[in-house]
Amino acid sequence: MEPSSAWLQWLVAGAGHELMLFASVGILLIGIDDLLFDLLWLAMPRKVAAPPLGAESRPLDGRIAVFIPAWDEAEVLPATLRRMLAAWAGENVRLYVGCYPNDVATLFSVSPLVARDARLRLVVGETEGPTTKGDNLNRLWAALGEDERMEGRRFAAVVLHDAEDHVHADEIALYRRHLGDHAMVQIPVVPMVTGGSRWIGGHYGDEFAEAHGKELALRSRLGVPIPSAGVGCALTRNALSLLAIERGGYPFRADSLTEDYEVGMLIGAYGLRACFADSLTATGDRIVSRGGFPGSIEHAVRQKSRWIAGIALAGWDHLGWLGARFSGGEASRWRIWLARWMLWRDRRSPLAALVLLAAYLGLIASGLSLAGEALLGWESMPLGGGMRVLFTLNAALLLWRLAMRVHFTARWYGARQALLAVPRAFVANVIAMLAARRAVVLYWRMLRSGQVLWEKTEHRDGEAVPGRRAIRP
């Protein structure tokens, strides 16, 4: 073998070995983390129902506000408002739509609806957009307060929704039922998987099916803080007032990319009760919030990078580890550590992306080594016993993870989409790596400039792939 070829073999084989070793250890640790969570979920009683009401609790009475922040939503917002007004025709609600003075298209699209229906309240901020979603929500909060003072009656709760959501007719009634003894109620969010976004948009369905079918359900049963998804979420007026007192009059953090997530975590940190309500109607229909998600890699990466930067990076700065104020310092030590474990799971995305990147680069290096053996006569590199054990364990954990993903996707979307969940796992990994890289850059820019802007992601108004109407454990 020529010296140049031997040097190249050493470089490729050495790099491949180190990358695969790092990736194998990382995948093993993350896989054990997931396995422990899954075993805990399996050990808990499972049922498709919201937590029962306390013996002395009563359904929440009074008027409910629905906050819908909007920026450049002229294509989807009018249809969303019509659906909401029709679905909640008999409910005591008022829809607050937050727009910007320079978003002329959205203003013109919703103005006819506002003029015809008194349940719609258009709130146009003084600042040109986009600012942040938290800032937009705070303007809606201020408008709600103005209405309360002018009309002399107080709202009971606030519901959060996005401009493209498909709401359920029984959603408000469900909130009333459980806000009697909870400060926050979150219902499942179901991405609409259309034929045109079977791969990019479809991987959202896989992830939400598992996250809202298992993650939030288990957190709710454990009594640890649960994050708000920002849609399909209701909070009592008193809970938001508590957050507003701490933040100078506004409950939502205006300099956050994931203000909804932080609100949910703070609700739990203050010791207020929150629940994840996965319920069926009398006819077996699930009460969920449906919505479109990005169907292209570019928009998916933009959206997920915002989530990672807001939750895993900036969220660490904003929330810490919830130990000092969790439940007012009265929570048991095991609940505090359970809450911190959940925070770790929320914040591990950048590390997981780095491990995935190392794994794929290691696979490429291994492929180059095999090609060198076949074409250039390189000597084969024996695989050590330790690496064989790591590979075996990781393969078993990978099969377990894929089985869990297929299981939850099948419960939400049926067998056909469940089979697609396996190859879509690779799509999800690629998007996660690209998003993690962009999230680090985004976070760095936020630190340097001190500015946070609302990054608009693609909103589509499509038809959902027919799936099961009810989930059976």
Rounded to 5 degrees, what are φ and ψ at 65? -95, 140
SS3 of the chain: the string is: CCHHHHHHHHHHHHHHHHHHHHHHHHHHHHHHHHHHHHHHHHHCCCCCCCCCCCCCCCCCCCCEEEEEECCCCCCCHHHHHHHHHHHCCCCCEEEEEEECCCCHHHHHHHHHHHHHCCCEEEEECCCCCCCCHHHHHHHHHHHHHHHHHHHCCCCCEEEECCCCCECCCCHHHHHHHHHCCCCEEECCEEECCCHHHCCHHHHHHHHHHHHHHHHHHHHHHHCCCCCCCCCCEEEEHHHHHHHHHHCCCCCCCCCCCCHHHHHHHHHHHCCCCEEECCCECCCCCECCEEECCCCCHHHHHHHHHHHHHHHHHHHHHHHCCCCCCHHHHCCCHHHHHHHHHHHHHHHCHHHHHHHHHHHHHHHHHHHHHHHHHHHCCCCCCCCCHHHHHHHHHHHHHHHHHHHHHHHHHHHHHCHHHHHHHHHHHHHHHHHHHHHHHHHHHHHHHHHHHCCCCCCCCCCCCCCCCCCCCCCCC
Domain boundaries, the chain: 3-41+349-449, 64-341
- pLDDT value for 48: 46
For residue 146, what are its two tokens?
């103005």
Query: Distances from the Cα of 380 to the Cαs of 9, 362, 366, 371, 467, in angstroms?
Result: 10, 16, 11, 11, 50
- pLDDT value for 6: 65
Residues in the chain with pLDDT < 50?
A: 48-50, 55, 462-473
- pLDDT value for 431: 96
- One-letter amino acid for residue 323 of the chain: G
Nearest to 368 by CA among 11, 26, 18: 11
Query: How do residues 302-318 score in pLDDT, each as one tens digit?
Result: 999 999 999 999 988 88
Query: How do residues 389-417 score in pLDDT, each as one tens digit?
Result: 999 999 999 999 999 999 999 999 999 99
CATH superfamily of 64-341: Spore Coat Polysaccharide Biosynthesis Protein SpsA; Chain A (3.90.550.10)
- pLDDT value for 58: 82
- pLDDT value for 384: 74
φ/ψ region of 232 (left if φ > 0, alpha if ψ in -120 to 50, else beta) reads left
For residue 120, what are its two tokens?
């719609």
Question: Using CA atoms, how far apart are residues 335 and 426, in angstroms rounded to an integer?
Answer: 34
Query: Distances from the Cα of 216 to the Cαs of 288, 295, 379, 401, in angstroms?
Result: 14, 25, 51, 17
Residue 112: how many CB atoms within 10 A of its CB? 10
For residue 219, what are its two tokens?
């957190």
- pLDDT value for 4: 56
Question: Using CA atoms, how far apart are residues 455 and 302, in angstroms rounded to an integer?
Answer: 8
Question: Using CA atoms, how far apart are residues 464 and 36, in angstroms rounded to an integer?
Answer: 33
